[in-house]
Amino acid sequence: MLDRPTTVRSRQLGARLRELMAEHRWGVREMARRLDWPPTRISNMFNGRRGGKYLDVVQMLTVMGVVGDEAAELYALCEDLDEPGLLETYPNLPAQVKTLVWHEERATAISAYQGTIVPGLLQTSDYARALINETGNVPLQDDVDERVFARMSRQVILSKRPLVTFEFFIHEFVVRLPVGQGDKAVMSGQLHQLLQLSVRSNISIRIVPVAAGGHPGVSGHFQLINSDKFQPVAYIDSEITSLFLEKAEEIEVYQGVLERLGALALGEAESRELVARLATDLYSPGAQRDVPRMA
C-alpha cells in the first residue's frame, strides 16, 4: 500500500500519540506487541503517513488508558484526516504552539513577516514579558511566565539547527514601537539582539520601511515553513487560535507576498544600520523621551 501524503492533521495526531506513548515509557515495539500490530504500522501512524483512522486511534488510546477531553481532542483530529489545513483553538499559548513547534523543529527554511511586533523567534525574554503584560490578555503571573518560557523555548532552533535558513521581514513600525512601559532597556536589549542575530550567516533580517507605503504584508503577519519532510505550511496565529494552511494555491499566495516584500525591503546591511541608529536615537539612556516620527 502506498503511503498517503501527510497533512498537518495527520502529523499532529501522530505527534500526540507518540507523546502519550512516551509518557508510558513504551517503545514502538512494546506498543505493537500490546496491540498485536506490526511495528511499521505504529511508525507510519506517528509520522502521519498511513493509519490514524478512528478505530486505530480508539485501540491505541484504550491500551494507554486515555479518556475524557484528551481523547476527544485526538478523535476530532481523525475526522477529515486527509483534509489539508488545521484550525486549532486553545485557552493558553503553550498548548497552542505545540503543532507549530513540531513543524519548526523539522524545517529546512522559515520565512516570516511581522508588521506590529518582533517575531517570536527573535524576541528577548524582557521584550516578550513586557509585551504580554502590556496587552493585558494574561491576568495571572504564572500564565505570563509560562508564555515567556514557551516563546523562549522555540528559539532553540536558531542555534541548534544551523542548516536551517531564516528570513524575517519586519516593518519599520515594529522597531520604533516602545514596548516596555517607558523602560528603554527593554527595547535597547531587543534591538541589539536583532543586530546580533542578523550577522549570522543563516539568518536574514530586513526592514520594510514606512516610506514604502502600502505593501504586500498589510493583510497581516504570517510564517511560511519549508521542510524536506512535508509540503510547505503557512502559519497564522491570534491570541487563542492557530491556523495552518497547506493547499498549494494557499502557499503560492504567501510565497508571492514574500517575493514582493523582498523587492521593497531594505537590504540586510541597510536594515542593520537603521536598527542600530534607532537603538541609539530612541532607546539609549540619553535619548529623547519623545519618539521621532517615521521618515
Residue-number span of the structural domain to which 50 is assigned: 8-83
Distance (Å, whole) CA 66 – CA 53? 17
What average pLDDT score do residues 257-282 get? 96
Q: Are residues 71 and 108 in the same domain?
A: no
Q: Are residues 258 and 164 in the same domain?
A: yes
Q: Are residues 75 and 112 in the same domain?
A: no
The CATH number for 36's domain is 1.10.260.40
Q: Are residues 152 and 29 in the same domain?
A: no
Number of domains in the chain: 2
What is the per-residue pLDDT for 287? 67
What average pLDDT score do residues 273-294 get? 77
Distance (Å, whole) CA 216 – CA 261? 6
Percentage of the chain beyond pLDDT 70 is: 90
Distance (Å, whole) CA 138 – CA 94? 12
> Residue 139 above 80 pLDDT?
no
Single residue among 37, 65, 83 that ends a domain in this structure: 83
Residue 263 lies in a domain: yes
**Least confident segment among 81-90, 164-173, 195-204:** 81-90
What average pLDDT score do residues 272-286 get? 91
Single residue among 51, 83, 115 that ends a domain in this structure: 83
What is the per-residue pLDDT for 98? 82
Q: Angle at the Cα of 9 (from 168 to 94), degrees rounded to 5?
A: 55
Q: Are residues 95 and 200 in the same domain?
A: yes
> Residue 153 above 60 pLDDT?
yes
Full-model pTM: 0.86
Distance (Å, whole) CA 172 – CA 155? 22
Q: Are residues 127 and 37 in the same domain?
A: no
Residue 256 lies in a domain: yes
Q: Are residues 19 and 78 in the same domain?
A: yes
- pLDDT tens digits, one per residue of 86-131: 888 765 555 568 889 989 999 999 999 999 999 999 999 999 999 9
Single residue among 32, 55, 83 that ends a domain in this structure: 83
What is the per-residue pLDDT for 2? 45
> Residue 163 above 80 pLDDT?
yes
C-alpha cell read off for 15: 505527534
C-alpha cell read off for 107: 524545517
What average pLDDT score do residues 154-166 get? 87
What is the per-residue pLDDT for 207? 98
Residue 288 lies in a domain: no
Q: Angle at the Cα of 5 (from 3 to 8), degrees rounded to 5?
A: 130
What average pLDDT score do residues 149-178 get? 91
pLDDT band at 292 (very low <50, low <70, confident <90, very high): very low
What is the per-residue pLDDT for 295? 47
Residue 260 lies in a domain: yes
What is the per-residue pLDDT for 52? 61
Sheet holding 109-114, edge to edge: 86-89, 241-245, 233-237, 222-226, 109-114, 165-171, 203-208
Q: Are residues 31 and 161 in the same domain?
A: no
Residue 294 lies in a domain: no
Distance set, CA 198 to CA 68, 110, 265, 267 (Å): 46, 15, 15, 11
Q: List beta partners, residue 165.
A: 109
Residue 61 lies in a domain: yes
> Residue 32 above 50 pLDDT?
yes
Q: Are residues 120 and 60 in the same domain?
A: no
Q: Are residues 279 and 152 in the same domain?
A: yes
pLDDT band at 143 (very low <50, low <70, confident <90, very high): confident
**Least confident segment among 30-34, 84-88, 274-278:** 84-88
Q: Are residues 154 and 53 in the same domain?
A: no
Residue 198 lies in a domain: yes
What average pLDDT score do residues 192-206 get? 96
Pair type for strands 109-114 and 233-237: unpaired
Q: What is the mean pLDDT of the chain?
A: 88
The CATH number for 231's domain is 3.30.870
